Amino acid sequence: MAIELAQGAASLAARDAIGLKRVFEGISAESCPRFFNFHIHTIHSDGRLQPEQVIEQAIAIGLRGLTITDHHSVNGYRKAQQWLNEWLQSFPDLADSTPRFWTGAEINADLLDIEVHILAYAFNPDHVAIQPYLQGCTVTGEAYRADRVIAAIHAANGLAVLAHPVRYKRSPVDLIPAAAQLGIDGLETYYAYNNPSPWHPSPQQTKQVQTLGESHGLLNTCGTDTHGLSLLQRL
């Protein structure tokens, strides 16, 4: 019974959108990758890390919070959460220093007739509205529209964030206002576009995205977009 209660509490914590919003409100250029990381891929999409390795590294780094954002899947999140639950049972005294772990996914969508990626955070992964977007592939038809994706994330009580806004075929000057009009919650403001080592957000792009985000009252997030074997780098 105690184990089931602990697992239930962890599941609820992973869907704490209010708590995550407070974290986003305090994100700065120094937040990632040593304190927070909200863009991580595992073998359950196009990454190389096992879900368990993500949590092991997060604990070793001393992260305060993270998400696994596999493309159209929460399988990596579920396996990582199970591993974390078991780890906490073995080391209950370390619960207060364990990183906060929220649900996450990266979803393809059409915005202004180009494909963009929308990061979903702290949503209920079992909610019916989000299910079409968690089947391992890009949806088609009207469900592919950015407004539908954002609405589905919100219906599942999550937060929607436009990933790496300067990586697309259209300017963030066009994309960010359009996303804001559709109800996007935030932007991946702090992102390393040239994969520098050590990781740090690209100054010019950061300033542009931050300015546009502020004009529309959007939250800021950060993440390494890890696809390799280290949470501290993209590749």
- Per-10-residue mean pLDDT for the chain, 235 residues long? 54 92 98 98 98 97 97 98 92 88 98 98 98 98 98 98 98 98 98 96 98 98 98 96
Write down the CATH number for the domain with range 2-222.
Answer: 3.20.20.140
For residue 61, give Cα distances in angstroms to 47, 69, 86, 98, 153: 19, 19, 19, 11, 30
| This prediction's pTM | 0.95
Q: Which residues contact 178 (CB under 8 A, 6 or more apart)?
A: 111, 112, 146
Q: Where are the domains of the chain?
A: 2-222
Parallel/antiparallel/unpaired status of strands 100-102 and 65-67: parallel
Rg (CA), the chain: 17
Three-class DSSP category at 156: coil
DSSP 167-203: SSSS-HHHHHHHHHHTT--EEEEE--TT--SS----H
